[in-house]
Amino acid sequence: MNMENKSNNLLVGMTVFGAIFFIFGFATTFIIQLSAPVMAVFDLTEFQAQLLTSAFFIAYPIMSIPTGMLINKIGYKWTVSLGLILMAMGSLVFIPAAKIPSYPLFLMATFILATGVVFLQVSANPYVTAIGPESSASSRLNLTQALNSIATMVAPWLIAVVIFRGLELPGVDGDAQAYGLQVAERIPFPFIVMALIVIVVAVLLFLIKLPVIATSKGKESGSIYKYPHVLLGAFGIFCYVGAEVGNAGLLVNYLRQGSLGISAEEASTYAAIYWGGAMVGRFFGSIMFSDAQQSKKYIYSFFVLILAFISGAFVTDWNWKIGAIFTGIALVNFIFMLVGKGQPARSLGVFALVAGVLGLVTTFTQGHVALWTVVSIGLFNSIMFPNIFALAVKDLKGGELASASGIINALIVGGAVIPPLMGSIADNYGYTYAYIVPAICYLYIFFFAVKGSKIRRA
């Protein structure tokens, strides 16, 4: 009966937090991809447009450590509930921001929404790590991150359909202001829907009983700075998030203004494929880092390839050719996953190296080659966050775990630093050279995987 209770607790906890990961994944990616519509609304430079992303990710260093402390005081469930309420409030502020329209109000709404997401993320990752056996923590994190990535694939597709569909960018002599106002009129609807969904989830959360994860109100959490692998892992998160968000934030305008000259709507569908790659790779990761039999791992992975084929075609209006290309790249990703041999550190090192190479190829090529190399980076981003996090909090318990999560999530501020840096490079030297920055970030992640994650205090 005790084993049955543990199994039920694991199922309930993973179901609820799977939904939580989906919600904050959608919100995060929607804001990242919103930089292109906002650039059109306010006629901004790429650097100015990326400040929207900065307004989101700046909430992490401000709120993550206090959130870790808050968890130790009021527990995971109440912290998650507060996060959902803040997300709903932020979503509703986007309505007047788009109606006026006001860029400062956009930034304020983004920060409020981001604060709610920080509450959720700092709570969710250690909860998923601690709710089951440590040996399968990486597998559980990859599974919840895969659910998160379903949302991150839907968000840019929704922007393409709800905001950009049917709108043509004005020519040199066109009315840019009229185009911007048309875009602004279409922005509130998805935020209204988001607010309603978040409110419903918050109500449901109050009605169910979640398994309790131990926290600490003592001084145990203060010792966290003595662990080098935690701090090195936190900087790994800085590099990973900055690279992932920077790649995605510039992707639409990079493709629209590059040698292919595709429309904003079509470019947004490729952004959806980029995020869909993270989804597919994380499902692979959840399977390969699990304790399942090897034969079953191959069977499950085959179904993930089918998912890649269908999702790649779906977001491009059922273009089966693109679906097939995406599936082929996903198969290559799976082969590299096998090279990792199901070991979190080894897999992270392999993926970081491949992502860095893809970033460099994007920089020094153009056309369809550059399009698919930059889109393919999403597949190799896939396991980075859960594996960096799992390696950074390894051997930690109780209050140390919550405090480490606060520190690690604070370094998600990389998403506020790297995209404007890339935007500035794009404004001054061209979009293609901006992709050198994430390549450098992936090299540090490679170092953390092979060396930094193994460093312990003397």
Q: Which carries the bigger pLDDT value, residue 121 or residue 364?
A: 364
Task: Convert the pLDDT of each residue in 362-384 to its tens digit.
Answer: 999 888 999 999 999 999 998 89
Are the C-beta atoms of residues 116 and 83 closer than 8 Å to each other? yes
Directed axis angle between helix 35-42 and helix 2-33, to 10°? 30
Q: Which carries the bigger pLDDT value, residue 360 or residue 186?
A: 360
Residue among 251, 284, 230, 232 at smallest CA distance from 438: 251
What is the average per-residue pLDDT within 16-40? 81
Residue 74: per-residue pLDDT: 83
Residue 225: per-residue pLDDT: 78
Residue 331: per-residue pLDDT: 96
Q: Which residues contact 354 (CB under 8 A, 6 or more apart)?
A: 336, 380
Percentage of residues of the chain with pLDDT beyond 90: 35
Are the C-beta atoms of residues 385 and 241 closer than 8 Å to each other? yes
Residue 109: per-residue pLDDT: 93
Task: Convert the pLDDT of each residue in 380-429 to its tens digit.
Answer: 998 898 889 889 988 777 677 777 877 888 898 999 999 999 999 999 99
167-168-169-175 Cα dihedral, nearest 10 degrees: -90
What is the average per-residue pLDDT within 18-37? 82
| Domain spanning 2-454, CATH class | mainly alpha
Residue 324: per-residue pLDDT: 96
Residue 203: per-residue pLDDT: 83
Residue 458: per-residue pLDDT: 45
What is the average per-residue pLDDT within 208-217? 65
Q: Which carries the bigger pLDDT value, residue 71 or residue 324?
A: 324
Residue spans per domain, the chain = 2-454
Residue 457: per-residue pLDDT: 67
Q: Which carries the bigger pLDDT value, residue 171 or residue 313?
A: 313
Tell me which residue has tokens 């790297």: 418
Task: Examine the pLDDT at 173 and tell me if it is beyond 50.
Answer: no
Looking at 174-188, 227-241, 267-281, 435-449, which range is the least confident one? 174-188
What is the average per-residue pLDDT within 13-30? 80
The per-residue pLDDT of the chain, averaged, comes to 84
In the structure encoding, which two tokens stand for residue 270, read together? 């490729």
Residue 171: per-residue pLDDT: 44
Tell me which residue has tokens 């359909």: 161
Q: What is the DSSP letter of 84?
A: H
Tell me which residue has tokens 């999702």: 311
Task: Examine the pLDDT at 160 and tell me if it is beyond 80.
Answer: no
What is the average per-residue pLDDT within 205-225? 64
Tell me which residue has tokens 């978040």: 198
Q: What is the DSSP string of 285-338?
A: HHHHTSSS-HHHHHHHHHHHHHHHHHHHHHTTTS-HHHHHHHHHHHHHHHHHHH
Give the Å distances, CA to CA, from 122 to 75, 225, 458: 12, 17, 28
Task: Convert the pLDDT of each residue in 232-285 to its tens digit.
Answer: 999 999 999 999 999 988 988 888 877 677 887 888 889 889 988 988 988 888
Integer Rg of the chain from CA: 21
Task: Convert the pLDDT of each residue in 73-114 to its tens digit.
Answer: 888 778 888 999 999 999 999 999 888 889 999 999 999 999
